[in-house]
Amino acid sequence: MLKINLTDDIFYVGVNDRKTELFENHMELPNGVSYNSYLIVDEKVALIDPVEVSFMAEFLFKIKSILGERKIDYLVINHDEPDHSGAVRAIVQEYPEVQVIGNAKTFGPLEAFYGPLNNKKIVAEGETLCLGKHTLQFFMVPMCHWPESMVTYEQTNKILFSNDAFGGFGALNGCIFDDEANLDFYEDDMRRYYANIVGKVAGQAVKAVQKLGPLDIKMIAPSHGLVWRSNLQWVLERYVKWSTGENEEGVVIAYGSMYGNTALMADIIARGVAEAGVKNIKIYDVAKTEVSHIIGDIWKYKGCVIGACAHYGSVFPNMTLLLHELTEFKPKNKVYGVFGGMSWGGGGVKYINGVAEKNQWECPVESVEVKGAPYRDEDVERLYNLGKAIGEAVKNN
Ligand code: FEO
């Protein structure tokens, strides 16, 4: 079996998932995802986070090709979510003497998922575990992504096993380390991952980065995506940027349209945005594009224009998920616009404006509601002006 070394005695034993269509059964994975795991072979053997359970055969094969008949002494659980912890029961069955390492919040959910564990050890903030040459140290990063989330710092080689933090969507296509990969290729999938997985708790992500700042970190080994050994600054800068609401110049227009009239409005608005001088304009039909992609781009750009037709006195159904996610995630430092159609008695624009008010969106221009198709001059002008105002607000950022 091919061995992938982080160091002479620390190995990458993760797997690539290109078969799962939806991460957490709701986010598309057009480029797959990796579940990373790491094996430290010392006087004691430690496995840092297992993988999703359906990859158990491949995972065990990789472990055994390195260990042979040796046993695993410690299984470190940085995070309980089943994309990592899924293989816990199988590992414990294979290595019955393994001690499972977690923190005070780990074992409640873990045993609720997989049943009682006989041999477990609870570690506290900053506690260490000596393997021989290597010493592991544990730090709590609650809500990055779940309450029990922690990271493991390997003191000898100064490697941070960061679990979800600094991870990204996208299977690892041969390139395991950052200096082997075209980072531009991964950036969109990293941002989409960040926005949809960590974005809601961006404040905690920043605190986690700040807390780990004093550590001398030479390598970041997350549980998804590339291992960072050469471009740590690249990933750290992006995490800070995404967490603090630093935007790029651009506008996302997301619409829901039953018969194409609201879609036409989006095109008129986009023309106004373009004539304001904004070059990055993304238009999404919420009935066609899975919402995590839209959220990923909203996170990226300053401007966001939301529009929908009415549906039974309320809003076009597919728009409600995007509005729910915007309410949950609260992306920072945006300018918003609202538009839509009032046929079928109206209600779509009213619904979106209610969300805007609740979330205190910054709207530099009044919402535009159009009856029927946007063919009348006055409607075209109102829509164009909305786009122009949003474009100018983005340019003046
Ligand atoms: Fe990759 Fe929150 O699990």
Burial of 116 (C-beta count, 10 Å sphere; 0-12/13-18/19+): exposed
- 302 CB less than 6 Å from ligand 1? no
CB proximity list for 176: less than 8 A, separation 6 or greater: 4, 12, 226, 227
Domain-ending residue, one of 244, 259, 289:
244
Which residue, judged by its Cα, is nearest atom 1 of ligand 1? 164
Q: How many A from CA of 234 to the centre of ligand 1?
A: 22
- 196 CB less than 6 Å from ligand 1? no
Which residue, judged by its Cα, is nearest atom 3 of ligand 1? 81
CB 273 within 8 A of CB 391: yes
- 80 CB less than 6 Å from ligand 1? no
Question: CATH number, domain at 262?
Answer: 3.40.50.360
Q: How many A from CA of 202 to the centre of ligand 1?
A: 15
Q: Are residues 275 and 253 located together in one domain of the fold?
A: yes
Q: How many A from CA of 164 to the centre of ligand 1?
A: 5
Residue 144: per-residue pLDDT: 86
Residue 64: per-residue pLDDT: 97
Q: Are residues 198 and 167 located together in one domain of the fold?
A: yes
- 52 CB less than 6 Å from ligand 1? no
d(CA 366, CA 364) in angstroms, rounded, equals 7
- 83 CB less than 6 Å from ligand 1? yes
Tell me which DSSP letter residue 228 carries.
Answer: B
Q: Are residues 217 and 275 located together in one domain of the fold?
A: no
Residue ranges for the chain with pLDDT beneath 70: none
CB 74 within 8 A of CB 101: yes
> Which residue range is the domain that position 377 belongs to?
248-396
Q: Are residues 199 and 311 located together in one domain of the fold?
A: no
Q: How many A from CA of 79 to the centre of ligand 1?
A: 7
Q: Are residues 187 and 51 located together in one domain of the fold?
A: yes
Tell me which DSSP letter residue 260 carries.
Answer: S
H/E segment holding residue 65:
helix 56-67
* Amino acid type, 242: W
CB proximity list for 29: less than 8 A, separation 6 or greater: 17, 20, 21, 22, 23, 169
- 109 CB less than 6 Å from ligand 1? no
Q: Are residues 105 and 125 located together in one domain of the fold?
A: yes
d(CA 186, CA 171) in angstroms, rounded, equals 10
- 145 CB less than 6 Å from ligand 1? yes
Q: Are residues 338 and 190 located together in one domain of the fold?
A: no
Q: How many A from CA of 163 to the centre of ligand 1?
A: 7
- 141 CB less than 6 Å from ligand 1? no
- 164 CB less than 6 Å from ligand 1? yes
Residue 96: per-residue pLDDT: 97
Q: Are residues 236 and 265 located together in one domain of the fold?
A: no
Q: How many A from CA of 311 to the centre of ligand 1?
A: 36
CA 366, 372, 378, 382 dihedral sign is positive
Residue 303: per-residue pLDDT: 98
Q: Can you read off the two tokens belonging to residue 230?
A: 């050469």
Q: How many A from CA of 198 to the centre of ligand 1?
A: 9
- 78 CB less than 6 Å from ligand 1? no
Q: Are residues 346 and 361 located together in one domain of the fold?
A: yes
DSSP per-residue letters across 154-215: ETTTTEEEEETTT--SB---S--BGGGS-HHHHHHHHHHHIIIIIGGGHHHHHHHHHHHTTS
Domain-ending residue, one of 177, 212, 244:
244
Nearest in space to 319 (alpha carbons), one of 345, 344, 356: 356
Q: How many A from CA of 141 to the centre of ligand 1?
A: 13
Question: pTM score, two decimals?
Answer: 0.94
Residue 249: per-residue pLDDT: 98
Nearest in space to 81 (alpha carbons), one of 165, 182, 204, 178: 165
Residue 240: per-residue pLDDT: 86
